[in-house]
Chains A and B, each alone.
Chain A
Amino acid sequence: MTKIKNAALHMFKVLWQPFLAIFLGLIVGAIVILIVGHNPITVYITMFQKSFFTLHYLLQSLTRSVPILVCSLAIVASWRAGYINLGVEGQMTVGSFVGTLVAVYMPGPTFVVIIAAVLCGMMAGAAYSLFAAFIYDKFNVSIVISTLMMNYIATYITTYFITFSLRDTSSVYAIQTKEIAMAMRLPRILPGKPFNLGFFIAIALVILLMFVVSKTKFGYESKMTGLNPVFAQYGGVKKTRVMYSTMALSGAIAACAGMLEIFGIKFRFVESMFTSTGYAWTGLMAALISGLHPIGAGFTSIFLAGMQVGGQNIQLSTGIPVQVATLIQSSIILFVSVQLFANWRKKSKLKAAADSKKAGDE
């Protein structure tokens, strides 16, 4: 009994912050809707009906949430250890590109090809993020900057390949690879709906990451490195090893995010497919809102995906521009950042200044 109570209390601790932010964000959204000249209550009812409270739309939201959710896990994995990986987009691009190529071109039994594709994809994503860790380790290039820049490199290199050598020439307009074989696609759960096994794989990843984070030595050491690197080092944690493993894990998860989208929905790699959708950035928001907690990030990702789906649908049915939904989303983020900012402000201004000065010196 007390165990259940404790678990509930724990969940509350994890989730109250995102919930409050969401609530305040909705209020700001309501004001905007009023200004635009609609009734916020009916708009919200439509929005929630068309995102969560009808089976059809619920499945649409859940499907959309898969890449966002997995991206948020990639962020959680790296940021917890204090490594600000902003390159999830690039890692998912490179990883899923390699995965798709293996799936399309490798001969052999389906089952073997799938395994090979997933492994190669994850390794490619991990390698791509490891490169950032490597140049930080050897040449002290900030991970924030290198990972961010490598997003562009990933997009342009993949675009180059699919524009020329690897392009599916059956379509004149679309720049994309060939489709992966029918048998390799993630099975759909209900006939006629795009909702597929990918969602459950994503949930499994949440549980897996939760396990890594809370039960393993690696999770412990990476959390301690994030909280206080000096303390971790003092306790015998090998900092560079934690950094490499953390970044590799993050990159591999990012690759999964891309592959789940391709193997479940798109079935091929399309030019700039992850840049235009912004999954990685929505995932980043989800991870931040939930204080880098895997389960919190899972829920928040689903919610944000629902907001996007609902937003698109209110545009169709009420004529309110999709930007309003984006605006609600942004205000939620804003409220969470205010919360974070307030915590941060508490620490003396001076100390912050001293730290930044020190950081600048390094």
Chain B
Amino acid sequence: MKHITKIYGNGVLANDDMNLELAESEILAVVGENGAGKSTLMKILYGLEHPTAGEIYIRGEKQVFKNPQDAMKSGIGMVQQNFMLLPPFTVAENIVYGNEPRKSRFLFDRKKAKAEVDELSERYGLGIDSNLVVEDCPVGLQQRCEILKVLYQNADIIIFDEPSAVLTPQEVDSLLDTLRNLAKAGKSIILITHKLNEVMAVSDRCIVMRGGKHIATVKTSETSTKELSAMMVGREIVDAKIPQATPGKTVLEVNDLVKTGEAGKPILKGCSLHVNEGEIVGIAGVSGNGQTELLHTIVGLMQADSGNIVLDGKEIGGLDVRSIRETGCAYVPEDRNTMGCALKATLSETMLMAHQYEEMFNHKGILKHKTAAERFTALLEQYDVKYSTLSQLSGELSGGNLQKLIVAREMSHHAKLLIVSEPTRGVDIGAMEFIHNQILKQRAEGGAILLVSSDLTELLKLSDRIYVMYDGFINGELKRAEAKPENVGILMMGGSADD
């Protein structure tokens, strides 16, 4: 890619004279702060966006990609962050979708499809059972399914945009193995990530971007996480000292929550926990062990079958979302695109959510747009969100900036109970530090915080107390001093603390 410049319709300069080269069998990492233009550059390479200026050459030949199909023909594939899979179909069916092997003109050759997929999965060491139905697969397997799909389309260059954001630590390890295998087999890989240890672990070279510009290209073997992070943010990141917590009275108390899902499958099997003022309580667990349902029950998006929930001395089980929020609860959801915002709403509309009934923004049903605009501008400034106007659409923000906006919105409630799920998913290291500090600040002000994160480092760093969830129940509770990756890990897998 040579001299790529991209200016979006709203005048945002996302890429400024970017150059990028990729050799065969190479793993190239692209890093940079939120809104640096990484995703944009990759979308251009994959034909999803068109460059304002600049050219793309594949093996010395100039290419113009009108759409992803064109890019695929030239051997470029992209593993999307939001998986484009059809949940009710099997892995094999999903992978061949669009290029199905056929018996005759009209008949789908299921056997051949399976054979081809199995062969492919074997060749690249992906180890996936092609008979599984996608909706039963954990996220890690779904991602492998996406990778296989790209391989099935004969891609030589595979782009990964923040692939590890949604994975558990174990899944991340196997993803990194997969990347190595792919490179060994001659594929070229571009990896966008905010996790510098991943960069150090797999990449050969690393490109640093800032403000749409190319800042540096370094050999991974000749650099360190410290140097990379300094180049990314332009300053050094220091680990904040976390002061001792001084817990006060109980804010949230959950007793014996039971919830049965569809088809009688138990989801919560009697969960009890409590969170005090001035305390950060973490919930660890491999995702899919009931954490999301537990949070949804607390905030009123779901009703439990039995058990009770007391927030600030008031029974909130069975209340609706708004009443619970007004009792004193704010929530950063794990999935920013499906629950945290509406991608087609403007920034001010997105930020107004759950504030629209507050007196500050609402006078007898009439919204106070002016007050809102002033508040939101200040808030976005404080959280260092890169945006152009409050009337642009949420979907136009870069992933990390949207995340920061959602965190800002929920934090600004200063609710007695703040529930945060994956608060730093997709944000750069500078922003991660900032969000952590904000959470600590709310704690210092006496806020009770319930934190769910699949990032164990984050969880161990912030939590004063940790509950470990396994298979719908709480499999253990650890104080800050006791919680170590090893014993939390054992509890996460269903073991007991005495092992």
Contact = CB atoms under 8 A, between A and B. Distances in A.
Interface string A212-224: 0001111011011
B366 interface: yes
A217 B342 contact: no
Interface in A192-235: 215-218, 220-221, 223-224, 227-228, 230-235
A221 B356 contact: yes
A181 B196 CA distance: 81
A217 B345 contact: no
A358 interface: yes
B325 A236 contact: yes
B336 to A, nearest CB: 10
A223 B353 CA distance: 12
B353 A235 contact: yes
A350 interface: yes
Nearest to B345: A227
Contact of A234 (B331, B349, B362, B365): B331
A351 interface: yes
Nearest to A234: B339
Contacts of B354: 234-236
Interface in A72-118: none
Contacts of B344: 227-228
Interface stretch (B14-22, B83-91, B125-133, B378-386): B83-91
Given A217-B362, A231-B340, A223 B356 contact: no
B85 A236 contact: no
B365 A216 contact: yes
A276 interface: no
Interface string B148-169: 0000000000000000000000
A227 B394 CA distance: 12
A215 to B, nearest CB: 6
In this complex, which of B356, B366, B369 has the most chain A Cβ atoms within 10 angstroms of its Cβ?
A: B356
A230 B339 contact: yes
A235 B367 contact: no
Given A216-B365, A217-B365, A348-B84, A224 B349 contact: yes
Interface in A337-358: 348, 350-351, 353-354, 357-358
B99 interface: no
Nearest to A348: B84
Nearest to B362: A217
Nearest to B333: A234
A292 B491 CA distance: 53
Contacts of A235: 321, 353-354, 356
B329 to A, nearest CB: 10
Contacts of A348: 84
A227 B367 contact: no
A167 B349 CA distance: 52
Interface in A318-362: 348, 350-351, 353-354, 357-358, 361
Contacts of B13: none
A238 interface: yes
B430 to A, nearest CB: 27
Question: Which of A220, A235, A238, A350 has the most CB atoms of chain B within a 10 A radius of its CB?
Answer: A235
B366 A224 contact: no
Nearest to A345: B67
Contacts of A221: 356
Contacts of A238: 320, 322
B193 to A, nearest CB: 23
B170 interface: no
Interface residues of B, number: 35
Interface in B353-371: 353-354, 356-357, 362, 365-367, 369
Contact of B339 (A231, A351, A357): A231
Contacts of A354: 84-87
A218 B352 CA distance: 13
Contacts of B301: 233-234
A220 B356 contact: yes
Nearest to B323: A236
Contacts of A231: 338-342, 345, 353
B108 interface: no
A11 to B, nearest CB: 14
A357 B349 contact: no
Contacts of A230: 338-339
Interface string B312-327: 0000000011100110
B352 A353 contact: no
B349 A223 contact: yes
Interface string A287-316: 000000000000000000000000000000
Interface of B: 84-88, 97-98, 299, 301, 320-322, 325-326, 331, 333, 338-345, 349, 352-354, 356-357, 362, 365-367, 369
Given A236-B357, A357-B86, A357-B87, 11 more contacts: A215-B367, A224-B342, A224-B349, A227-B342, A228-B343, A231-B340, A233-B301, A235-B354, A235-B356, A351-B84, A354-B87
Which are the 7 A-B pairs with shortest beta-carbon distances? A236-B322, A228-B342, A235-B353, A227-B342, A235-B354, A236-B321, A350-B84
11 contacts: A216-B366, A217-B356, A217-B365, A217-B367, A221-B356, A228-B343, A231-B345, A234-B331, A234-B354, A235-B354, A237-B322
